[in-house]
Amino acid sequence: MKTINIDHIKEKLIPKSHDHNSLRQKRRYKSKLDPYRYEILTLYNELNYSLGTIQIWLTEKKEISVSRSTLLTRLKYWEDLKSKE
């Protein structure tokens, strides 16, 4: 009786392809908030402005419309960058 090698069958049925995750390079996403990074960080960290207040400031002073969740995501991203330095 012949033994069946499962790995051999998988190789025959599904050819191996490149692992897209290992080949994919992370590219830096540029946000429209980046030019105002230090102003936003100052408002948030030093002056304790809320996300809603910063959102209004961006709309009125910089003519940029972003959601609070986008603002929070970018603040976390900048904090992560700061901790890696």
* Cβ-based neighbours of 75, under 8 Å, separated by 6 or more: 40, 41, 44
What is the token pair recorded at 7?
């790995």
Concatenate the DSSP letters of all residues of 8-61 into one string.
HHHHHHS-----HHHHPPP-PPPPTTGGGHHHHHIIIIIS---HHHHHHHHHHH
pLDDT tens digit sequence for 50-68: 999 999 999 999 999 999 9
pTM exceeding the 0.85 threshold for the entire prediction: no
Give the pLDDT confidence score for residue 56 in this predicted structure: 96
Is the pLDDT at 41 greater than 70? The verdict is yes
d(CA 42, CA 32): 17
Give the pLDDT confidence score for residue 83 in this predicted structure: 82
